Structure 1
Amino acid sequence: MSPTALATPFLAAASGDGGGYHAPEPQEFYQPLIGHGDWALTRPIVVMAISVGLIAWFLLATTKRASVVPSRGQWVTEALHTFVRNSLARDIIGSKEFLRFVPALFTLFSILLVNNLFGIIPPIQFPTMGRIGFPIALTLVVYVVYHTVGIRKKGFRNYIGGMIPKGLPGPIYILIVPLELLTQFITQPLTLSLRLFGNMFAGHMLLLLFITGGQYMVIHGSIGLKFAGAGSFVMAFVLMIFEGLIELLQAYIFTLLAATYIAAALADEH
């Protein structure tokens, strides 16, 4: 993997015109390809579309001729599905309710895993979830699902009432009720999306900083700075490995929390 390739689309380093080094900016995550403004076709949209196409192709290719003795592709698909089914759906939601949520959780995990790993896989090397709209969209899906299943099971009044702790002194409810409702309907989904976005955004910006900074020092710096630039490339490579682990972990955490929220909405004591 070439660290310099990650910086190619961004043009974050100045080009020897005396302007000096320009650090990566948040606008690097917009990158319009066709058009401009809110309706532009941007790089994140294209990357997301590519990921959906790849996931659909891989799942169809590895399952259309499924056999008792699985091929490598079938084994990968079955291993991922079994992991989501057993470790995330059944263990969190419970053996009575989990089956109907397995397709949604598996789809969510697959999209997150592929799009996160795109941040370090050439030639794409762009984490889609570093664009805030995508984590928000996935969070809205989870938000609608767990509130809907909770209301359908318990009714609106019982579902809302179950969010409020019982047996507290009367005056305390003046504080507790707004806090609990704020947590369930605003804070909880907000932190779910911002956690994913923040990790993907910050990790990629850090990689860009080391790569473009190293590139600038190697091309435009003195002998000492050229050695420092080479060290920056080495650090970028180490960070890529670390970032890959973070990307795997964030896909897992987001799906785990989605399953946890569904389980809480269905729980009798909720």
Structure 2
Amino acid sequence: MIALTLPAQDGGSFTPPSVSSHLTPFFSIGGFEVTKQMILVALSVVLIAWFFVAAARKRQLVPGKLQFMGEMGYSFVRNSVAKDVIGAKDYRKFVPLLFTLFFFILVNNLFGAIPVLQLPSFSHVSGAYLLAVIVYITWIGVGLKANGLRYFKLAVVPSGVPWYILPLVVPIEIISNFVVRPMTHSLRLFATMLSGHLIVLIAGSGIEFLLAQESIWLKGTSLLVLVGSIAMYMLEALIMVLQAYVFVLLTAIYIEGAVHADSH
């Protein structure tokens, strides 16, 4: 956290809350600093791997609870995202990517709703940028493989547009598809996770501040803030799940557009 100290009327100082783009590292290995977010990302990989290995270890015709949950999660990504968006003919090869992205983002988001951990990994923008770059390279590569260099023309020249409008439309399409798309893809995830995390933190700080006051009325007001913070906490948990779905859904849409660029 970064604090800005301002002079107060009573001769003391006032330190308003603020947020830093970097957390204080837990420890360093040589010149490499290890932060809480790095540890949570590594933990998410371990948890996801453990869960699905355990779910698939003892496969049965009538699945147990763990196997049922694993199969339900896989089927959701496979059928409701990959197959429905990309199409029954081409979706299979992209299921591993979409499956990995969904559960990786989901678990890292849900860390923000777990007491003690209380930090969504993608409230740090670098992680969101990295995932967006991976998706960006993937769908461009898919478009080139499916359509050759002609893909760039298909991506920026909409079919059926009169030739005299193309000088206006083509620059817009270039900016929209190759600049704005990856930026919004990453910032949507980052901004949502950061803002929700800050709202919950501010509500918690407000409760602490009100309880520290001498007035009984202000102490009582802390109960209202508590009720509101619980509601925001539940809403944030829902948004954590939705953002994982939205990120993967957009990835599938971008891949579908690259695979079938000649038919759009």
TM-score, normalised by the number of residues in structure 1: 0.88
1:226 to partner: Cα distance: 1.3
- The one-letter amino acid paired with 1:208 is L
Tell me how far apart the structure 2 counterparts of residues 265 and 259 of structure 1 sit (CA, whole Å).
Answer: 10
Query: Is the 8 Å Cα contact of residues 81 and 249 (structure 2) preserved in structure 1?
Result: yes
Residues 1:62 and 2:55 aligned together? yes
2:9 matched residue in structure 1: none
1:22 matched residue in structure 2: 16
Tell me how far apart the structure 2 counterparts of residues 266 and 116 of structure 1 sit (CA, whole Å).
Answer: 30
In the TM superposition, structure 1's runs of 4+ consecutive aligned residues that sit over 4 Å from their partners are: 18-21
Tell me how far apart the structure 2 counterparts of residues 122 and 220 of structure 1 sit (CA, whole Å).
Answer: 26
1:95 to partner: Cα distance: 0.4
Query: Is the 8 Å Cα contact of residues 29 and 44 (structure 1) preserved in structure 2?
Result: no
Residues 1:174 and 2:146 aligned together? no
1:150-193 per-residue CA deviation (whole Å, 9 max, x = no partner) reads 1011101x101112124434442222211111111110111111
1:159 matched residue in structure 2: 151
- The one-letter amino acid paired with 1:59 is F
Q: Which runs of 5+ in 1 are unaligned?
A: 1-9
Query: Is the 8 Å Cα contact of residues 2 and 19 (structure 2) preserved in structure 1?
Result: no
Tell me how far apart the structure 2 counterparts of residues 139 and 28 of structure 1 sit (CA, whole Å).
Answer: 19
Tell me how far apart the structure 2 counterparts of residues 227 and 21 of structure 1 sit (CA, whole Å).
Answer: 24
Q: How many percent of aligned residue pairs carry the same amino acid?
A: 37
Higher RCO by CA contacts (8 Å cutoff, separation 6 or greater)? 1
Residues 1:269 and 2:263 aligned together? yes
- The one-letter amino acid paired with 2:218 is L
1:184-204 per-residue CA deviation (whole Å, 9 max, x = no partner) reads 111011111111111100000
- The one-letter amino acid paired with 2:257 is A
How many residues of Structure 1 are paired with residues of Structure 2 in the alignment? 255
2:228 matched residue in structure 1: 235
1:182-221 maps to which residues of 2 (within 5 A)? 182-221=175-214
Tell me how far apart the structure 2 counterparts of residues 102 and 206 of structure 1 sit (CA, whole Å).
Answer: 35
- The one-letter amino acid paired with 1:165 is P
Alignment RMSD: 2.3
- The one-letter amino acid paired with 1:46 is I
Residues 1:144 and 2:137 aligned together? yes
Residues 1:50 and 2:43 aligned together? yes
TM-score, normalised by the number of residues in structure 2: 0.90
Q: Which runs of 5+ in 2 are unaligned?
A: 6-11
1:129 matched residue in structure 2: 122
Query: Is the 8 Å Cα contact of residues 33 and 40 (structure 1) preserved in structure 2?
Result: yes
Query: Is the 8 Å Cα contact of residues 21 and 124 (structure 2) preserved in structure 1?
Result: no
1:62 to partner: Cα distance: 1.2
1:224 to partner: Cα distance: 1.9
1:32 to partner: Cα distance: 2.0
Structure 1 pair 29–119 and aligned structure 2 pair: CA distance change class (3 A) = farther
Residues 1:83 and 2:76 aligned together? yes
Tell me how far apart the structure 1 counterparts of residues 106 and 22 of structure 2 sit (CA, whole Å).
Answer: 19
Q: 3-state SS of the aligned residue for 1:70? A: coil
Tell me how far apart the structure 2 counterparts of residues 165 and 114 of structure 1 sit (CA, whole Å).
Answer: 38
Query: Is the 8 Å Cα contact of residues 21 and 213 (structure 1) preserved in structure 2?
Result: no
1:109 to partner: Cα distance: 0.3
